[in-house]
Structure 1
Amino acid sequence: MTILTGQQIAGEGLTGWAFFYNSLETRIATPNFAAGLALVAAIGGAAEQADHHPDVDLRYSYVDIRLTSHDEHGVTARDVRMARTITALAADDGLQPASDAVSRLDLALDTPDRTRVLPFWEAVLGLVPADEADVGLDLIDPADRLPDLWFQPSGDQEPRQRWHHDVWIDPAEVQPRLDAAVAAGGRVVSDEHAPAYWVLADPDGNNVCLCTWEGRD
C-alpha cells in the first residue's frame, strides 16, 4: 500500500489522532480499568477481523493506541480505516480519542563521527539498527520501550551540547507548549524551520526541538 503524507492524513479529518512521522497515535481516557479492558477487547476483535493490529497500552485511566503499517514503514489507508473503527468503538462507550495527551520522544546525539560512537550506544542500550526505510533513525528498541536514537553531525570543538531531545507533538499543541516553555524560563532559539520544528533552550542553554509533521512532505 502507499504511505500517506502528513497532508493526506490531515485531509482525512481524524479527530483526536496525532500523526508522528510513521504512526497515528491517540489516548482514550476511561473511567476505570474495567472500561479500558473492555475497550481493548473490542479493539482486539476488530483488529483480528481486519488482520491489522495496533499497538495498545492499557493503563488504569486511559488506553494509548498506536497505528502503523510495519511492512510499509509508515501510515497507510488501512491505518486510517482502523483509526475510524477504534473511534467508533470508543464512541459506543461514550469515550473519545484525544491527541493533546500523546507525544513521541526521540534522542539525538551530536557527534563528529557517528561510526565511532554508534556501536557503544547500540550495546549499552540494547538497541538494534533501524531499517533503511526509517529515514533519519539509526537505532531502535526492538521492544519499543526506549526512544529511537539517531546521530547528527557536529563540529569537534568543545564545549558543545552533545545530546538533545526531539519531541513530536500534534501541530495544534505547538503554541501552548511554546508558551509554557517560555513561561517556565526557556526561550525560542530558532523558528527558521517551522512548522517542521522549533528549537528551544532551557535557562542553562540546553536545546530541545518541538517537531511536527507539517512542512516535511
Structure 2
Amino acid sequence: MDEASARPESISAAEFHRAPGVTDWRVTGSGPQAVFTATSLAHSARFVAPIVAAAERFGVLPDIDVRPEGVVVRVAFGDEGIPAAATGFAAAVSEAAADLSLTADPSRVQSVGIYVAQHSQVDARRFFTAALGYEELGDTDAVDPLRRGPQLAFNPITGDTPSRGRTHFDVFVPADQAQARVDAALAAGGRLADDSHAPAWWSLASPDNHGVDIAAWTDTYD
C-alpha cells in the first residue's frame, strides 16, 4: 500500500494545518498553497523536479507556477475537500525548497474570485464563459480550464434592478494575513462596508464603491 492510499480521502483546512511539516502552507479558496521566493528563473526551475517527484510519490496533481521571483505551488480542492495526501506532499515540497534555499513567504499566498451578481431572471454565465473562454463548473460557477484566471461565481439577487451589474471581488488570503490586508485596503482609501462575519470575511468598498471581500475562512474551517 502506498502512502496516499493509506490515508482518508479528504480532510479539512484545520486538519491540514495540524499535519507536520506544513507551516509554509496556507489554504485559500483554491486549495492549499505555498509561495517560495527564488533568486532567478533558473533557481525557480530547479525546484520543479522535486515537486514533480513528490506529486508522483503522494498521488496528487499540483499546479506549479514558475516565475523569476519564485514558485507558487497549489493543490486544488477535491470534490469533498482537501485531498488527504496533500499533507505529505506539502511537507515534502517544503523540505525540497529548504534544500534548494528557496524561502517560503506565506504573506504572498492568495487566490482571487469574482462574484458576478445578476438579476434573478438573467443567466449571465453563458456570456462570461464565452467571452473569457471559461468552462462551467457546477450549477453556478465558471473556471479557466487551465486555472490561470480567477474563478467566477454567479448568484442571483432577487428583486434587484434589471440590467444593473453588481459584481465584486473575493480575495482569499491566509488567516494570519487577513487583518493586515483589510487594514491596508482601508488605509488606501477604502471603507468597511460590513464586518459582521469577521474574522471569516470582511466586506470592503473602494472609494468609488466597488466591492471587495477579504476572506480568511478557507484557511481555518474544520
Q: TM-score, normalised by structure 2?
A: 0.85
Aligned pair 1:89/2:96, yes or no?
yes
Structure 2: unaligned runs, 5 residues or longer: 1-7
% identity of equivalent residues: 30
Aligned pair 1:55/2:66, yes or no?
no
Q: How well do the aligned residues superpose, as a CA RMSD in angstroms?
A: 2.3
The aligned counterpart of 1:187 is: 191
Cα contact 1:29–1:62 (8 A) shared by 2: yes
Task: Give 4+ residue runs of structure 1 displaced > 6 Å after superposition.
Answer: none
The aligned counterpart of 1:140 is: 143
Structure 1 residue 58, shift from structure 2 partner:
0.8
The aligned counterpart of 1:15 is: 23
CA distance in 1 between partners of 2:132 and 2:77 (Å): 26
The aligned counterpart of 2:152 is: 149
2:42 to 14, 22, 34: 34
Cα pair distance change 1:146/1:176, threshold 3 Å:
same
- Residue-pair matches, total: 212
The aligned counterpart of 1:117 is: 124
Cα contact 1:195–1:214 (8 A) shared by 2: no
After superposition, what is the alpha-carbon deviation per residue over 1:37-73, rounded to whole angstroms, capped at 9, x for unaligned? 1111222223233332321111112011011364x45
CA distance in 2 between partners of 1:53 and 1:86 (Å): 13
CA distance in 2 between partners of 1:45 and 1:216 (Å): 29
Aligned pair 1:79/2:86, yes or no?
yes
Cα pair distance change 1:173/1:89, threshold 3 Å:
same
Structure 1: unaligned runs, 5 residues or longer: none
The aligned counterpart of 2:108 is: 101
Cα pair distance change 1:22/1:60, threshold 3 Å:
closer
The aligned counterpart of 2:206 is: 202
Cα pair distance change 1:75/1:142, threshold 3 Å:
same
The aligned counterpart of 1:173 is: 177
For residue 44 of structure 1, give the secondary structure of its aligned residue in structure 2: helix
Cα pair distance change 1:47/1:9, threshold 3 Å:
closer
For residue 145 of structure 1, give the secondary structure of its aligned residue in structure 2: coil
CA distance in 2 between partners of 1:81 and 1:55 (Å): 16
